[in-house]
Amino acid sequence: MIKIHKEVYGEGKPIVLIHGWAMHTGIWRNFARQLATEYQVICVDLPGHGLSENVDPYTLEQIRVALIEVLPESFSVLGWSLGASVALSMAKHFPERIDSLILLSGNPCFVKEKGWAGTRLELLEDFAKNMQSHCHATLIRFLTLQVYGLPDGGGILATLKKAFQECDEPEKKVLQNGLDILKNEDLRDDFISLKCPVNIIQGDKDTLVPKQVSVDMQAIKPEIQVNVIPGAGHVPFLSHQSQVIKAINDFI
């Protein structure tokens, strides 16, 4: 068993928070403490991120197995961005452990294609290329994209950077493997087959996961709940914390 770092807040029904690409549990801290007034909130560092050891090969299968070994017997799981792909994969392969699934700014098929909204493949490939020679600058650009166009984007970006800098940056290989998951994994069939309740939360100003994604997801799985937060970008848990918490409370 590899070491997986986690932070636990509060008591009650457990909800696990899984962060996105290049980040770690620090990004959740303020949000987790607010959410912990109602739940036991468990924040985990993805393998190779923050204070968690790495897995090899770096695949969704290895990641979900590493995480499930350190989590309660049953819990709700919320995944943000890349973490949403991990959470969805966990819900598919460990249905007896997952009570409900929340995808926050997430997408079962992250890349845009005909009939499916998503991120342009060229953008992810550009990140991968630039990361090899300008890794830190590329990561900062990624953080900046998450708040692009928001009226209070500067303040949110400062919060993102502060949390990001708490830990060493993941190794380039880990970052590349994370991008490969976003580029190559198509989890739509897994998404359709899920038996647990599913809630989608996203911002209507998200530049990475466009709001049309929620429409596409509901088209292939009509029973899901959808919450689109006006004025929010890719990090609604920072910019619109109360709305995200209300969406969670109304769902769980």
pLDDT by residue, tens only, the chain of 252 residues? 899 999 999 999 999 999 999 999 999 999 999 999 999 999 999 999 999 999 999 999 999 999 999 999 999 999 999 999 999 999 999 999 999 999 999 999 999 999 999 998 998 888 888 888 888 888 888 888 888 888 888 888 888 888 888 899 999 999 999 999 999 999 999 999 999 999 999 999 999 999 999 999 999 999 999 999 999 999 999 999 999 999 999 999
Among residues 19, 105, 206, 216, which one is catalytic? 206
**Helix or strand holding residue 202 (H, E):** strand 198-203
Q: What is the pLDDT of residue 3?
A: 97
Contact (CB, 8 A) for 228 and 203: yes
**Helix or strand holding residue 43 (H, E):** strand 40-44
What is the DSSP secondary structure assignment for residue 108, as one 8-state letter?
Answer: S
Among residues 5, 19, 49, 234, which one is catalytic? 234
What is the DSSP secondary structure assignment for residue 177, as one 8-state letter?
Answer: H
Q: What is the pLDDT of residue 134?
A: 82
Cα R_g (the chain), whole angstroms:
16
- From the centroid of its chain, how far is CA 138? 19
Active site residue 206: yes
Distance CA 128, CA 169 (A): 15
Classify 20 as helix, strand or coil.
coil
- From the centroid of its chain, how far is CA 180? 15
Task: Map out the domains of the chain with their CATH numbers.
Answer: 6-251 (3.40.50.1820)
Q: What is the pLDDT of residue 137?
A: 86
Q: What is the pLDDT of residue 244?
A: 98
Among residues 81, 100, 105, 239, which one is catalytic? 81
Six-digit token string for 12: 């009650």
Active site residue 74: no
- Burial label for 228, CB within 10 Å (0-12, 13-18, 19+), is middle
Q: What is the pLDDT of residue 200?
A: 98
